[in-house]
């Protein structure tokens, strides 16, 4: 299977939503393509209320709401991920899946200030439309309509990648495919940053209070309580050195990996 590599930016490329297949790319102004990546069934079945329905997107796209969902930790976790990526983002940065809040706008600003570029991948056009509305004109950003587990991007073509609260939303097979693709497209020596849920410490009340909430609303998240994220990584990265930091009594984690 051929892969599309990132290309140089010009003014026409900035902040466009692109449908990317094996052979061509089209801007959002073109007629809808029949071969647009299908939305994974679990998104429609489990997360229609959070990410899929346009009314849900309008409701959750409020900084105070996403901060509330994370028990007041949004800024802390966002800053931790940004710090791990670096204050300067030259070269190419990849984010897998859009996120509510200002996470991507900060990435875009850092990329622009250091002459870099940011690609954001999401399988949901409504999420890409929402992100586009948050980005300033001329931001060095491409919004790519792709499945995280099937990235039509060249091997070793990004300097760094970030997954900000994505993996807990995916069933195990999607999580495994997503991580395999991320490791494939990041250059040797590049950085992969993951911020997500984890199993709280035994003394944390959230270990007991949060379990039924996750079981009801985020049924795949408890996988990250039962096993280390390495469980879903491709070889040899299961045993590769990683830097792990816990937050909020262990309910959240940051994992930094050098590819």
Residues 188-236 have pLDDT tens digits of 999 999 999 999 998 888 888 888 888 888 999 999 999 999 999 998 8
CA distances from 136 to 15, 105, 109, 122 (A): 8, 8, 9, 19
What pLDDT was estimated at residue 16? 52
Which residue ranges form the domains of the chain, and what is each CATH number? 16-258 (3.40.50.150)
Q: Which helix (H) or strand (E) holds 55?
A: helix 54-60
pLDDT band with cut points at 50, 70 and 90 for residue 13:
very low
Residue showing tokens 């994974």: 40
pLDDT band with cut points at 50, 70 and 90 for residue 143:
very high
Residues 6+ apart with CB under 8 A from 39: 52, 123, 124
- CB distance 57 to 130 below 8 Å: yes
Mean pLDDT of 174-185: 97
> What percent helix, strand, coil does the chain show, rounded to 5?
40, 25, 40
What pLDDT was estimated at residue 135? 95
Between 216 and 96, the more confident residue is: 96
pLDDT at 17 over 70: no
- Mean pLDDT for all residues in the chain: 87
pLDDT at 18 over 60: no
pLDDT at 250 over 80: yes
State pLDDT tens for residues 29-56. Answer: 333 444 689 999 999 999 999 999 999 9
């Amino acid at each position: 299977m051929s892969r599309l590599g990132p290309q140089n930016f010009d003014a026409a490329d900035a902040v466009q939503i692109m449908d990317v297949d094996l052979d061509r790319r089209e801007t959002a102004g073109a007629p809808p393509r029949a071969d647009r990546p299908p939305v994974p069934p679990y998104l429609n079945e489990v997360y229609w209320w959070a990410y899929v329905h346009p009314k849900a997107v309008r409701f959750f796209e409020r900084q105070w709401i996403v901060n509330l969902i994370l028990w007041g930790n949004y800024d802390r976790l966002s800053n931790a991920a940004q710090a791990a990526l670096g204050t300067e983002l030259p070269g190419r940065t990849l984010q897998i899946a859009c996120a509510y809040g200002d996470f991507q706008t900060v990435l875009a600003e850092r990329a622009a200030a250091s002459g870099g570029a940011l690609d954001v991948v999401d399988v949901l056009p409504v999420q890409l439309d929402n992100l586009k509305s948050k980005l300033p004109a001329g931001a060095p950003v491409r919004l790519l309509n792709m499945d995280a587990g099937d990235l039509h991007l060249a091997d070793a073509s990004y300097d760094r990648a970030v997954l900000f609260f994505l993996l807990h939303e995916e069933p195990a097979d999607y999580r495994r495919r997503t991580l395999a693709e991320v490791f494939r497209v990041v250059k040797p020596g590049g950085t992969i940053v993951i911020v997500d849920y984890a199993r709280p410490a035994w003394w944390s009340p959230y270990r007991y209070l949060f379990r039924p909430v996750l079981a009801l609303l985020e049924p795949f998240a408890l996988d990250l309580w039962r096993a280390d994220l390495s469980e879903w990584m491709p070889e040899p990265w299961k045993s590769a050195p990683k830097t792990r930091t816990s937050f909020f009594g262990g309910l959240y984690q940051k994992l930094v990996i050098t590819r």
